[in-house]
Amino acid sequence: MWTGPTITPETPSFAANRTAMLDAVAMLRDLEARTAQASEQRRDRFRERGQITPRGRLARLLDPGLPFLRLHSLAGYLADSDDPERTLPGSTFVGGIGFVSGVRCMIVVDDSGINAGALSPFALQAVLSMQEMALRQKLPFVHLVESAGANLMNYRVEDWALGGAVFRNLARLSAAGLPTIAVLHGPSTAGGAYMPGMSDYVIAVKKNGMAALAGAALVAAATGEKTTDAQLGGAEMHASVTGLVEYLAEDDTHAIALTRDLLARLDWNRNRVAPARPAFAPPRHDPDEIAGVVPADLKTPYDARELVARIVDDSSFLEFKPDFGPGTLCLQARIHGIAVGILANNGPIDPAGANKATHFIQACDQAGTPLVFLNNTTGYLVGTEVERAGMIKHGSKMIQAVSNARVTKITLYVGASFGAGNYGMCGVAFEPDFLFAWPNSRSGVMGGEQAAGTMGLVARAAARRRGAEVDEQKLARQDAAIRALFDAQASPFFTSGRVLDHGVIDPRDSRKVIAFCLQTAQEARARDLRPNSFGVARA
């Protein structure tokens, strides 16, 4: 029987937990800041060209004060360099969901302060992820373009082959009834030229904005023609000769003002019906305490209700079947006034827990209640007893329910997320609307320790079969190698770097992030678009 949180800032483990969590958050912020600083180092170069920096553009584009959900800030972590001290995650663009003139938009800002905006590893996957999210959440797509395009020094054929999806997505967004807007702050050549080409609206900055299938250098190499970028594809040329540019801007700030003006003129919210949203009370237990509530060591169990009490309105929830499969929690609550069904784990998922979760997911789907999955599970329970109780069958039901539930799904990795438990708790493959990880979380098929232990037992068994001596030294090396292999890939920084989530967040922001995601999805579901077959053709 839950009677409310028992952990307080005075609880002995609180301070140490908090220190460990804030260290993990600091690592996240340091990585984000490192990339931002690398970009802002070029500030003087931007100024010389009469430009403002990519982050300056974003800051001016967004409605001040309205929330911004950053996405994929760690994309490419350790992919550009295997040195954790040198890698620049999220270096190709700064993006997320924000408001422009009151319009909730998907925004991508090329980070031309780093490698001139050239595509870094996994940036393509991140852009595709954001385009798909825009389509699903019915968000107009705003792209501030200034990119050298593909990095020829690191050419990978799959980036070229799959990169076309960026343009396919633009076409589909437009056809779905979602305006696509490209702002040419700088060059957009080769494949990048289709960025403006495929957008419904193009704003270009005089002198700096440029779009061409090949820049002057490539033209000279290919045909010997001597020309200039301005003649090939300058903003002014496109505005008057090709019609590729709708609006000419004097400079970056003007381009952003034009973009804001354009969004305002869409009158995008004219039919928006504000959802009836009751006034809500903040949690009675401060979300800031989350940092100290969650144990630093994932192996230390904690009651997920301590966390939920610090996320939901008024710290109030109703527990569904509390005494049946108690290791799996199903809770009814509200977050910023929006009713949600929360699934959380107090341990592995057993047959009863899987059954309960299946029932709960289907009931929420029936009522149209969004689902929030707070992952902290080592997976489905194993052993003779549970196998004989039909663990496979019950787990499958849960995975089936998660896969096919039509309601909004939001997943947070708040601790462990291992094995098929990740599937049942709506991991990345189950396409939650939004998926964020805490910086202390871990995910994978199993922990490095378990993997190493399993492989150790297999090796010993094999040795026994052969009647050979166990080479303990070799086994120890194997054990260490397996642990390293698993643990490195279990880190949320690594998985986020591989675009296996939408980003890593500060655990203390969980309530706000979930609220923003719920509002975004709710707005999308209430919005009627005007889809057409082919999108808006560029005249």
Cβ closest to another protein, residue 72 vs residue 356: 72
- Tell me if 29 contacts another protein by CB under 8 A: yes
Tell the smallest beta-carbon distance from residue 137 to another protein (Å). Answer: 15
Site string for another protein, 94-133 (x = CB under 8 A): --x--x-xxxx-----------------------------
Tell the smallest beta-carbon distance from residue 291 to another protein (Å). Answer: 15
Sign of CA dihedral 140, 95, 313, 301: positive
Tell the smallest beta-carbon distance from residue 257 to another protein (Å). Answer: 7
Cβ closest to another protein, residue 12 vs residue 65: 65
- Tell me if 23 contacts another protein by CB under 8 A: no
- Tell me if 264 contacts another protein by CB under 8 A: yes
Tell the smallest beta-carbon distance from residue 506 to another protein (Å). Answer: 8
- Tell me if 49 contacts another protein by CB under 8 A: no
Q: Cα 522 to chain center, whole Å?
A: 18
In this structure, the number of other CB atoms found within 10 A of the CB of residue 340 comes to 25
DSSP 82-96: S-TTT--TT-SEEEE
The backbone torsions φ and ψ at residue 202, rounded to the nearest 5 degrees and listed phi first, read: -125, 125
DSSP code at position 204: E
Among 12, 48, 64, 530, binds another protein (CB under 8 A): 64
Total number of residues that touch another protein (CB under 8 A): 45
- Tell me if 269 contacts another protein by CB under 8 A: yes
- Tell me if 336 contacts another protein by CB under 8 A: yes
For another protein, which stretch binds (CB under 8 A), given 132-140, 146-154, 400-408, 504-512?
504-512
Among 15, 16, 66, 529, binds another protein (CB under 8 A): 66
Cβ closest to another protein, residue 418 vs residue 516: 516
Q: Are 439 and 504 in contact (CB under 8 A)?
A: yes
Considering only residues 159 to 178 of the shown chain, the ones binding another protein according to CB under 8 A are: none
DSSP 411-457: EEEEEEEEHHHHHHTT-GGG--SEEEE-TT-EEESS-HHHHHHHHHH
The backbone torsions φ and ψ at residue 107, rounded to the nearest 5 degrees and listed phi first, read: -125, 130
Tell the smallest beta-carbon distance from residue 206 to another protein (Å). Answer: 10
- Tell me if 423 contacts another protein by CB under 8 A: no
Tell the smallest beta-carbon distance from residue 318 to another protein (Å). Answer: 22
Q: Cα 533 to chain center, whole Å?
A: 29
Among 11, 13, 253, 346, binds another protein (CB under 8 A): 253
For another protein, which stretch binds (CB under 8 A), given 52-60, 134-142, 322-330, 476-484?
52-60
- Tell me if 250 contacts another protein by CB under 8 A: yes
- The contacts of residue 82 (CB under 8 Å, 6+ apart) are none
Tell the smallest beta-carbon distance from residue 315 to another protein (Å). Answer: 15
For another protein, which stretch binds (CB under 8 A), given 324-332, 360-368, 404-412, 515-523?
515-523
The tally of CA atoms less than 13 A away on the side-chain side of residue 88 is 17
- Tell me if 67 contacts another protein by CB under 8 A: yes
Q: Cα 328 to chain center, whole Å?
A: 26
Which of 329, 358, 359, 360 lies closest to 346, judged by CA? Answer: 329
Tell the smallest beta-carbon distance from residue 167 to another protein (Å). Answer: 28
User: Amino acid letter at 61?
Assistant: L
- Tell me if 501 contacts another protein by CB under 8 A: no
Which CB contacts under 8 angstroms, 24+ apart, belong to 530-537? 530/177, 531/175, 531/176, 531/177, 532/175, 532/177, 533/175, 534/171, 534/175, 535/170, 535/171, 535/172, 535/173, 535/174, 535/175, 535/200, 536/174, 536/200
Dist CA 366 CA 203 (whole Å): 45
Q: Which residues bind another protein (CB under 8 A)?
A: 29, 32, 36, 55-56, 58-60, 63-70, 73, 96, 99, 101-104, 249-251, 253-254, 257, 264, 269, 272, 274, 277, 282, 336, 503, 505-506, 509, 512-513, 515-516, 519
